Structure 1
């Protein structure tokens, strides 16, 4: 007599298919998440570069025809960062809502405060450090002393723009790792002012 084993192999194939499909879909979703993170970082890099490029040309403040200070226009730098991808949220990174709360960041001091642009807890941090070596920047460039720092053609003065972004994970096992991650991008450029005085 010949025993039939056909039913066992059919059941085994279904179980193997279910197990392998689960693993394949998990890997696929992880790959999608990594791709979205990569594109989000690219958008953040472009925004940080846009803000730093604009900020590398400081404003010359005058009073009765006399120069009083050379400063950065923090509000305009922030606006340039927000609109680097356009005025409507498109793509994978919404630069108009960096903290991910669903509210436009324009009036949220927790994201950016023009009174405290270097707030380390903000989602946009604009600094004006100084130093001869960009990898070891410290202090702040003076803006009011004649022929010093920003008033001396921006010598050894830099602008550093840091953007943080709250990224919501797509990966199905995200709760095991946390539902979101904070992406961070920094761009540093020398101050390009040619003004001396």
Structure 2
């Protein structure tokens, strides 16, 4: 009588372990992915902040006679600052040299990731905007860059820079087919324009 009871108990323990181990490993994989996503977001946030901080100091464009023609953002340099915010080699959690996650350096892909002549492209992985408005929570339009004593040529009054970075994150443990193997992370940083130029 006791030998059959022991066999039932041993079989029951194996079944319980199989069920609980599945749940434990599922929770463990979710915790690992959530931790990696958190650290990736921190790296992206630092890169967006670096780009916005640099971009908050606009460049003054002059003509051949030295007259100011525009006060504008240096989009190419802002993008470069974002790329190198984590150093000059891809390392760590977020690879800022490969935002779309295809294994190819973003600089070799032309305007797919960022196009300086169309910096507000919503399909890009780096979006740089120059909106205006007194309230940073409700910005719209675009700051004028060439009109004397208006917007960017008026010490950047009510002008902002908004840098958005999108990043294709591949899940370390793709545990649910419903979620897919990757997600797009998005980070935005907004700062006021810091210009002293009026004219």
**Mapped pair 1:90 → 2:104:** no
In structure 2, list runs of 5 or more residues that go unmatched. none
Shift of 1:3: 4.1
Q: Deviations over 1:71-99 (max 9, x none)?
A: 11100000000110111111111111000
Provide the rounded CA distance (Å) in 2 between the counterparts of 1:120 and 1:172: 27
SS where residue 104 of structure 2 aligns? coil
Shift of 1:10: 1.2
Q: Deviations over 1:115-159 (max 9, x none)?
A: 100001100000001111111111111111111110110000000
RMSD of the TM alignment (CA)?
Answer: 1.0
In structure 1, list runs of 5 or more residues that go unmatched. none
2:128–2:164: 8 Å Cα contact kept in structure 1?
Answer: yes
Q: Deviations over 1:144-186 (max 9, x none)?
A: 1111110110000000000000011123423221111111011
**Residue of structure 1 in register with 2:173 after alignment:** 171
Using the size of structure 2 for normalisation, the TM-score is 0.95
SS where residue 155 of structure 1 aligns? coil
State how 1:128-143 maps to structure 2 within 5 Å. 128-143=130-145
Provide the rounded CA distance (Å) in 1 between the counterparts of 2:135 and 2:174: 44
SS where residue 163 of structure 1 aligns? strand
Using the size of structure 1 for normalisation, the TM-score is 0.96
Paired residue total: 196
SS where residue 19 of structure 1 aligns? helix
**Mapped pair 1:180 → 2:182:** yes
**Residue of structure 2 in register with 1:100 after alignment:** 101
Shift of 1:107: 3.6
Q: Comparing 171-180 with 4-13, which one deviates more in the overlay? A: 171-180
